[in-house]
Amino acid sequence: MSQITVDISDMRVSASPDDLIVTYALGSCIAVIVHDPKRKVGGMIHYMLPLSEIAPEKAKDKPAMFADTGIPELFRTMYGMGCDKKDLVVKVAGGGALYDDKGLFSIGKRNYTVLRKMFWKAGVIIAAEDVGGAKSRTARLWVGDGRCTIASQGEEVPL
């Protein structure tokens, strides 16, 4: 088994059933985890910010930094590997927040809102999600069987 680590503002896809895709320290960032059980292909993006309009040049160089450029890129890559949209199992994790009564620091919420809008428009259904809260998460996806876990504050649970 080899482990593939997805950095912040990065995206990785694998068609090797032995691979484990993992991303660490999801705070307000969001991981979209996509798996095709038929073809045994898995993919994950760890995006940092909602909209690329704040830095269009950066988005060309690093589309996975933003939800609006990164998520379509992830799906395109999966399709490029022969996946069919109707077979894809999509899970979401992250989008956490600090204790912030006044909502001053709402990057996590904005990250999640943009994702929901995009999925609604594209007709993508979220099979499972673990979002929000004042916690940092680690997300894992086993490419072979599509198993997913979320680890946070010393506990790891299936997603």
Catalytic residue among 20, 29, 83, 131: 29
Q: Any idea which residue has 């160089």 for tokens?
A: 61
Which C-beta is closer to other proteins: that of 80 or that of 103?
103
Within 39-98, the residues that bind other proteins by CB under 8 A are: 48-50, 54-55, 58, 65, 96-98
Residue 29 bears catalytic tag: yes
Which of 6, 9, 44, 70 is the binder for other proteins (CB under 8 A)? 9
Residue 149 token pair? 């876990």
User: Whole-number minimum distance, CB 83 to other proteins, in Å?
Assistant: 28
Which C-beta is closer to other proteins: that of 8 or that of 89?
8
Buried b or exposed e, range 71-107, using 16+ CB within 10 angstroms: beebbebbeeeebeeeebbbbbbbbbbeeeeeeeebb
Could you say whether residue 125 binds other proteins (CB under 8 A)? no
Whole-number Å distance between alpha carbons of 99 and 96: 10
Which C-beta is closer to other proteins: that of 11 or that of 41?
11
Whole-number Å distance between alpha carbons of 77 and 42: 10
The residues annotated as belonging to the active site are 29
